[in-house]
Structures are given as structure tokens and as C-alpha cells.
Amino acid sequence: MNTISSYSPIHVVGGGLAGSEAAWQIASAGVPVILHEMRGVRGTDAHKTDGLAELVCSNSFRSDDATSNAVGVIHAEMRMAGSLIMAAADRHQVPAGGALAVDRDGFSDAVTRAIHDHPLITVMREEITGLPPSDWDLAIVATGPLTAPSLASAIQAATGEDSLAFFDAIAPIVYRDSIDMNICWYQSRYDKVGPGGTGKDYINCPMDEAQYNAFVDALISGDTVGFKEWEGTPYFDGCLPIEVMAERGRETLRHGPMKPMGLTNAHNPTVKAYAVVQLRQDNALGTLYNMVGFQTKLKYGAQAEIFRMIPGLENAEFARLGGLHRNTYINSPTLLDPSLTLKSRPGLRFAGQITGCEGYVESASVGLMAGRFAAAERKGEAISLPPATTALGSLLGHITGGHIVTDEEPGKRSFQPMNINFGLFPELEPGSIVKPEGVKRFRGKDKTIMKRQLIARRALADCAAWLGQTPTFAESA
């Protein structure tokens, strides 16, 4: 390792997108890094090479539109922060319309080469089987959803039995402003007032018998995604996919997550619903609601089509669709402080998908933040958190405390991984959305587009200010 820096090294465990980005940010701040990567010594069930930042699934980084797409906004913010992952992606882009897709081999080779060539980064090919030793006073664990079993066990032993999930049972999440409240209503079952509740903590979508039967038929016939061989089949009664429940009997859902008991339709109190789909507030901002009990293996296209059969969700926009897959992640809001440090062990941070984010760029962005925070701590500088109005800040807020805790379902984890989306951003100031001059009707989709454009513009301006930069026209447009 080059000794041109007087600082002691920071250790990063994991050479995926998050770990590579964290190492790059640390080294770019003038602090040496030792990056530990087990591939090359021990493989995983999903990786094919020992290259750093290997893409194991899609080669797409999704939308690159920074004017009205949350993913494009986080792309732009990462570029502003000197992201290695975004630089490599830009250099190895392949045609994909408005999306940023990459040549996966060229991308991984570029990241690997940049990391190995940096004079302040040393790559050690070895498996770290436990938590970083105490003499690593500053370290980042960025081992991702395929964390080796030995390390996962060590993390679980250090943080508690309920702190680590190995499978994600994900229910779809809907943007609150896309729900038709002329059909739906607020009410908790039997008007129960839980901790911090009001008795109106759920949005309820009613179905009559014909609608219910059509919905069950659609679930049973919908296209599903199979488990990969290395994932196994982790069905247990607490997280059965909605379509599996439907297959077990036509009345199963009516006596499970869609039971109508204890609910009265505020719009039509004299008519009892045959079944009810409940949506529960998912984030502290109140902009996102999850479909209770609707974890699923349906393909995304089928999900959107079938779930829009639900009364009140005909025009629903989804911040996230459902799924069930292997994904090792910690209960970050409980375990981590706002700078991604393990509360029980100062100096040890977590980054990437293991913190509870989804997606390539989200994983890399958390690595970017963890690297910047660790470098500042090593240099004795104050840690500066990104503003909550930025894409980086909103994702960080979700990971470290933006979820809702519920006692409705004992034993159920209320925190689940999330992609970046506009539902994580704070609302605009009142009066921000103004009808354009000469436009007679301004609502629905047009209003939503303007709202997202304004959130994106604010995010990029605030990110530039956080980084001490002046936003370019493209960044602030």
C-alpha cells in the first residue's frame, strides 16, 4: 500500500457496488483503504467472476432522467459527488432508451481497474468470517444480499436474533395521492386505536362478491416468478404470497388479509363489503401506503394489472411492487445512527443492500455516503449529512428512521428494503405547485409531473449546496 497518507487505513468488507464506491470515496478524501473481498478465494451462488462490482442480475441502472424521475435524480447527485460507479457506468453505457444500461463486463473491469490503480487502496482477497476485529477502529461492512453465512451469523449474534432478515417478503407500496378516496376510506379495524394511532390508521378498499371472485381468479392465473436454485423456497405461514393463499381456497383471503370484519364503508355505511383490501401507512411522511398481506411472486406486469382491479386503486401508482426473494439485510432504523454507524459499536458502519435499500444505484449511493462519513471521521472533521430534500438524504432517512413501527402484527418486521422513489422525499412547500398560465384544467397526471419536476429541481440544488458546488443548468432543470 502506498504510504503517502499519514492517516491510518479504513477497512471496507465487500467489493460489490457499495464497497467499491465506499473505498473510492474514502481514498478520494486522501485516506488509505484496505478493501477485503472474498471472491477469488470463496465464490457465491450468484456471482460468476471475481471482478469488483459485478452485476449479478440486470445490466440496467434504470432511468437516467434527472428532471422527473427519482432514480435519475440520485444518478445526478452521485455524479456530483464524484461517484466511481456512475463514472464507470457512463463510460460503458449501452443503448437502452431513457435508461442507463451498461456492458456488464466492461463496467466491472473499469471499477476493478480503478480500485486497483488507486495509490491509497489495497485490495485483499480473503473471507472475513466475523465482524471486523476491534483493532479496525473504522470499518464498513458492505457485503450485500449474498453475505457469507459465517459473517451473517456473526452480525446476528452481535445485534440480536430479530435484527437480520434472510428473505424479503415485500408487499407493494402505493403512492398515497394516487388512491381514490371517493371509493376508499380511513378506518382501523373495529376503530381500534393502537400506539400512536387514531382509529383511522388504514386506507380501506371495498369489494363486492363479484369483484372479489374476479380478483381471486386473476391472482390464481397470474404469471409468477420462480425462485432461483440457490434461494430455496422460504414459504412459511407468516409470509405466504397472496396468490398462494388464493390457491388454497376461494375463501382463504376473505378470512385472511382481506377480511371485512370490523370495517364500515364511510361512503355507504348500510352495505357490508364482501372483502376489504387494507393499506397501511409505510413512511413517516405519510406519502406511501403498503398493501397489507400482499407479498407476492407475481411478475411486475401482472401485479400492476391485477392490483388495479381493486376498487380505489384503478389509477394506482406503485412506488414499489411486491416480491419474495433472498436478501440479507439488517434492521437499520433500530441498529444504525444517522451516519450509518452501528449504535452498539462506534466506528463500524454498514453500507449497501445489507442496510435495507434495493437496487444497484441505491446500494452504491449508500456506499458513497458511508465512505464520505468514515473519511470525515478519520480526518477529525464534522460529519455532514445530505439534506433530507435530496435523493441521497431521503434514502438515508428511510434507512435510518423513516419507517413506521407497528404493533399490529407481532413478530413482523416493519422495516423493509426500498428503491429510491419520490414518496421518500419531503413534501414541497405549500403553494409550490402553480397552475401554468393559459391552462384551464390542471390536475391528475399533469400536476403529478410538475410536482416531481419541482422535487427533482429542489433535490439537485440542495445537493449541490451540500457539496459546495454550483448546480449546472442540466442539474437544476
d(CA 179, CA 92): 40
Beta bridge partners of 35: 12, 123
Residue 284: closest CA among 181, 390, 414, 194: 414
**C-alpha torsion angle, residues 75, 76, 81, 84 (rounded to 10):** 40
Please tell me whether 19 is known to bind a ligand: yes
Q: Is 15 annotated as a binding residue?
A: yes
**In sequence order, what DSSP letters do the residues of 268-332 get, joined into one string?**
-TTS--SEEEEEEE-BTTS-EEEETT----B-HHHHHHHHTTSTT-TT--EEE--EEEEEEEE-H
Q: From the CB of residue 403, how many other CB atoms can be counted at a distance below 10 Å?
A: 24
CB 395 within 8 A of CB 297: no
**CA 290 – CA 312 distance, rounded (Å):** 14
Which residue has cell 381500534? 192
- Compute, in degrees rounded to 10, the torsion defined by CA atoms 235, 239, 242, 248: 60
Cα-based torsion angle of the residue sequence 419, 421, 425, 428 in order, rounded to the nearest 10 degrees:
180
Q: Is 18 annotated as contributing to ligand binding?
A: yes
C-alpha cell at 304: 400492476
Is 1 in contact with 9 (CB distance < 8 Å)?
yes
- At 329, which amino acid appears? Y
Known binder of ligand: residue 30?
no
- Residues in binding site for FAD: 14-19
- Residues in binding site: 14-19
